[in-house]
Amino acid sequence: MDEYMVAIINGGVEDNGNIIYLGHNFNFNYHAECLIDYGVHKYPNISGFKNIDYMKEPNLPIYYLSLLNNIIFTNVSVDDEMRGMLYLPRTISDEQLKTLSQFIDLIYDFKVTIIYNLALVDGMVLGKDLDVLQNENMKEQIMKFVLERQTPKKERRTYNG
């Protein structure tokens, strides 16, 4: 994952659970550029991607992609520090959960911040964040957090490794 800018775990009907990597060798200047490019090609009927001014709000493509139930991971590593932001949509399918579990194995050496409950307020994308402890049970922490957010308390799914 260290050679890509972005990973997207697709949601929705088409390609549900499939993962795509964008920005190989950081061939875009900004994460927003490769996300907009992806959105324009993946969702040609959604004109919003073509009109995004990412210089005003760089997280707007992430917001739109999360509305389409995509999980987005942005590689924001600097120098020798492996760092990433994991953006979660409000609903995650079982197929996405399986892929996410496998993907976490690829980012075990990253410091990860989970961003969730994204909202567009006065033209700005806002959300809540949670820093994940970087240790041997990072996968368990992330999966437990995701599952607890996804399911009503009466029917909670559990992570069994």
Q: Nearest-CA neighbor of 73 among 60, 61, 87?
A: 87
Position 21 scores a pLDDT of 96
Q: What number is the average pLDDT over the span 123-131?
A: 93
As a whole number of angstroms, the distance between CA 109 and CA 106 comes to 8
- For the entire predicted model, the pTM comes to 0.89
Residue 154 binned pLDDT confidence (cut-offs 50, 70, 90): very low
Q: Are 22 and 7 in contact (CB under 8 A)?
A: yes
Task: Work out the mean pLDDT of the chain and round it to a whole number.
Answer: 89
Residues β-bridged to residue 130: 114
